[in-house]
Chain A
Amino acid sequence: MSSVSPATAPAAPAGPPSTGPARTTVFGVSLNIRQSGIYIAFALIVVLFTILTEGALLQPQNISNIIVQNSYILILSIGMILIIIAGHIDLSVGSVVAVTGAIAAVLMVDYGIPWPVALVLTLIAGGLIGAWQGFWIAYFGIPAFIVTLAGMLLFRALTLTVLGNQGIGPFPDPVRTLSNGFTDGYFGNIGLGMLGGADIFSLLVGVLVVGGMALSQWRTRTARLGYHQAVDPLPVFLLKIVTAAAVIMFVVVQLARFRNLPWVLVLLALLVLAYSLVTTRAVFGRQVYAIGGNLQAAVLSGIKVKQVVFWIFVNMGVLAALAGVIFAGRLNQAGPTAGNAFELDAIAAAFIGGAAVQGGVGKVVGAITGGLIMGVINNGMSLIGSPSERVMLVKGVVLLAAVAFDVWAKRRAAR
């Protein structure tokens, strides 16, 4: 293999190539509409509800609420996107949230086991539940729809059995802090002029995150240039970085003005980072895409399809257990109806976030954005006093519209 001739090296990104995803041009910037549509939609929805709520949506306390109230759905959607990329589905996560919450409650409250040990045991229990479902799906060959539909009933029944039809609580303080609490103001406050006081630690974390993101993006770009790959032109690159930095810093400043960083936000950020890396860089993640894209071709390429499918369900179980503990900790009790219909929110988040029904397509950040879109709609509509039936109606329309858009974009790209 010889190296690439320099003539083809700095491939111009402008000008629509005949073979590539559907692109459209906005202010001279070429955009992949199928990938970036979701972020534009999110921005529009935030702007819309900011206007409708006369700014209440972006108040410090409300931002904090949106994050904390949706944290468990967002965690579930991370596991769900992997499953959907592989071409499967998981209807049981709501029930798994309930049963793992109950297990955590029994361990921590009834047996008084120290919370870190109990947390680990609960996560293991979640993994075993995932392994149970993964076995039937991957090795026995039953469609995931059926296995997890059965799981939905089985684990709800198990929850009721464990709980004896009543709630168990209260949870130890550290667990409640994880679900509901905030980082301490380790370095005190700083005055931000007319914005009032803000937590220095939160601001520092924000600055570090933004700096880290910018640095890693820059290094990726430099490495790609070193390999003569096509990259965004510098102004577009900088614009993207500055926009992302501005959004992150805005959220952090608002949170710092309220009660510092919610712990679940820290946890979520770590999960998103880790799973983004797994889906884009890890062999395992790439095999998930290969399986969803063309199962037969994946088999004939020597990918151990059964193993991969098994492990994404184990992973889903562990994440559902984490969500279960956080949800129970937030309510300060494990209840029999916990997690009802969570699976539907997690699935909707994944599809709104750009996953394809046939599998093979999807991103962790997309699923998170999809989950946030629904979170903002929920929150914004309740702020303006809409009845719950109208919220449901809007969420249904948004889900349908998102998938319709995806199908349309794909058809357009196919032409």
Chain B
Amino acid sequence: MTSPGDILRMQEITKTFPGVRALQDVNLSVRRGEIHAICGENGAGKSTLMKVLSGVYPHGSYEGEISFDGQECRFAGIRDSEQRGIVIIHQELALCPQLSIAENIFLGNERSRRGLIDWNRTNHEARVLLDRVGLPENPVTVVSDIGVGKQQLVEIAKALSKEVRLLILDEPTAALNDEDSAHLLDLLRGLREEGITCVIISHKLNEIAAIADRVTILRDGRSIETLDMDADDVTEDRIISGMVGRDLEHRYPPHEPSIGEEAFRIEDWTVHSPVQRDRVVVSNAALSVRHGEIVGLAGLMGAGRTELAMSVFGRSYGVDVSGRVYRDGKQVEIRNVRDAIGHGIAYATEDRKRYGLNLIEDIKRNISAADLGRLARRGWVDDNEEYRVAEGFRHDMNIKAPSVLSVTGKLSGGNQQKVVLSKWIFTDADVLILDEPTRGIDVGAKYEIYSIINRLADSGKAVLVISSELPELLGLCDRIYTMSAGHITGELPRHEATQERLMTLMTTLTTKDTAR
């Protein structure tokens, strides 16, 4: 494997977090002057690997060796790696929106003389860097005044100002429109000409096929293979089979569905981004769920799944939302969360700590929070009844806590998720949208959550499960929709769905008619 042309070698990298092994014996070698792509499902370990490389996780917090330019590296932090010329551009841009382009480029690296900033030099050098990345903006323009695509270029200019030798881009085009993406890819080709090595993490396989020289595939925290794009005649399908080729490692409770009438349907659902009003996040989406049915919604990060769900749930996300929602065949108007709950729709968030629970309150008050009125007469809560209801859920859902008076912030992830589910079941919703219901939960608790979801469907509820884990969707759902770049790209019944077919649809960029 070792060849003198390698600028970077990461060997046998293992990184563990409490309870989770994020990376195991990962190998990565990058040749001087190439564009090297890293592919993998959500949670495969791509971002973790890049954080190890850039010193976000310092030497000693992982096992294995990193050598850059033939020298072993032991970075204590980002500054160390930047000194060597390794610069990472994160998925969420790290610019200060209220500062100018030039100030951002030289942030932490100011052009100064005796402690005073040399503004002429700052703005002049910024101008030169902006020309290099092809951004015709004035260096004194405030960053929040330019679009996300241009901000991405400012990030690259910032990296160039540090005399970058290895540029790492984490999902650089995820938030960009097609035009900006194309420009960015051109820029990367230009940098390759200049001898700058690039590592790019991306879900967009067509882009990888277009730009990368080699691709390394990660799966479940392991490096699976490195493919040479030209020599190995790599297709998108070839990458997909590498990304998903694993056995079903989790077990799923057996379930015989009894499916009834249609409970929930959306049509022509379109949502725009609240930060960038001209960007369509969900485009003309249509889907339906029947009573007793568990329907999956698959998609990679940024496909618009959560945005779709939250915009349906009382316009909790997005602007210029348009489309129609039907409940039990009748069109309904949902303007806010109360309307959604009133129409029997519940949404359990993917981020339960930030959006799902009041962590300083007890289990009882969290369970009753979305429908407290049911426990009240003329505005006064019957707290004994509330206690009885909550105890019932603690018992039924097997929430492991000494009593319902325990504070939710101290429960494990699995038990917190059970509290969130209890809260929405208590609202008597007929349609439950569960966003990543098993994220951050250990395997045993996952099985319990799956059983609860099956029980909900058996009691006639319509369940829509959003998940990044394809085996989970295959093991749980009766029918699966796929989303890609804001479009519903496919719909497969359980017996026709495979990980490969789903992944193909999840990475398609145009709408295809599939299955029926």
Contact = CB atoms under 8 A, between A and B. Distances in A.
B379 A293 contact: no
A2 B369 contact: no
B431 to A, nearest CB: 15
A19 B407 contact: yes
Given A4-B392, A11-B403, A302 B341 contact: yes
A2 B392 contact: yes
B316 interface: yes
Interface string B355-388: 1111111000100011111001001110110011
B406 A19 contact: yes
A301 to B, nearest CB: 4
Nearest to A358: B360
Contacts of B423: 301
B411 interface: yes
Candidate in B349, B379, B403 with the most chain A CB atoms within 10 angstroms: B403
B349 to A, nearest CB: 6
Contacts of A19: 401-402, 406-407, 410-411
Contacts of A284: 379
Given A21-B407, A281-B380, A297 B341 contact: no
A224 B249 CA distance: 46
A143 to B, nearest CB: 17
A283 B379 contact: yes
Given A1-B389, A303-B369, A282 B379 contact: yes
Nearest to B425: A1
B380 A282 contact: yes
B18 to A, nearest CB: 15
A3 interface: yes
A300 B357 contact: no
Contacts of B373: 283
B358 A293 contact: yes
A3 B392 contact: yes
Nearest to B365: A286
A392 B89 CA distance: 52
Interface string A1-44: 11111000001000001111100000000000000000000000
Contacts, number: 123
A369 interface: no
A57 B370 CA distance: 49
Interface residues of A, number: 43
A282 B375 CA distance: 10
A294 B359 contact: yes
A379 interface: no
A281 B381 contact: yes
A413 to B, nearest CB: 8
Given A282-B381, A293-B360, A300-B347, A287 B372 contact: yes
Contacts of A303: 369
A281 B410 contact: no
A11 B402 CA distance: 8
A217 interface: no
Contacts of A11: 402-403
A361 interface: yes
Given A227-B388, A283-B380, A301-B370, A360 B337 contact: no
A230 interface: yes
A120 interface: no
User: A-B pairs with the 3 shortest C-beta distances?
Assistant: A1-B392, A293-B358, A301-B370
29 contacts: A1-B395, A2-B395, A3-B392, A17-B403, A19-B402, A19-B406, A20-B410, A226-B384, A227-B387, A229-B387, A277-B380, A281-B383, A282-B381, A283-B379, A283-B381, A286-B365, A289-B361, A293-B358, A294-B357, A296-B355, A297-B354, A298-B358, A298-B369, A299-B337, A301-B370, A302-B371, A303-B369, A360-B360, A360-B361
